[in-house]
């Protein structure tokens, strides 16, 4: 059985990852398709992770802390693109 705290983190991370996808979509629209290719690939990876968050793939606190680290990395990258 999954720890309740892990479930809470997973629900929060699901929302945060959805926000990353929305941010990436806005940034991608600013570039031509060729220029945005790496961002499109990043968005697809973030989308795949988001789709798997509620699965059993991420069921421990270590798993959700790894997801948090990925989120923070991508968020910082997006902030740098916006500045």
Interior/surface letters 69-78, b for 16+ CB within 10 angstroms, e for the rest: ebbeebeeeb
Q: How many CA atoms lie within 13 A of 9 on its CB side?
A: 18
Section 59-82 average pLDDT: 95
| Average pLDDT, rounded, for the chain | 94
Is the confidence at residue 1, as pLDDT, over 70?
no
* Cα four-point dihedral sign 51, 53, 56, 58: positive
Which pLDDT band holds residue 34 (cuts at 50, 70, 90)? confident
Whether residue 82 is predicted with pLDDT greater than 90 in this model: the reply is no
pLDDT (tens digit, 9 = 90+) per residue, 36-55? 999 999 999 999 999 999 99
The pLDDT of 58-82, averaged and rounded, is 95
């Amino acid at each position: 059985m999954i720890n309740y705290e892990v479930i809470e983190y997973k629900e929060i991370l699901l929302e945060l990852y959805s926000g990353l996808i929305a941010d990436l979509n806005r940034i991608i629209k600013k570039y031509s398709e060729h220029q945005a290719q790496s961002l499109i690939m990043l968005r697809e990876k973030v989308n795949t992770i988001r789709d798997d968050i509620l699965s059993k793939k991420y069921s421990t606190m270590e798993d959700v802390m790894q997801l948090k680290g990925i989120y923070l990395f991508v968020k910082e990258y997006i902030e740098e693109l916006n500045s």
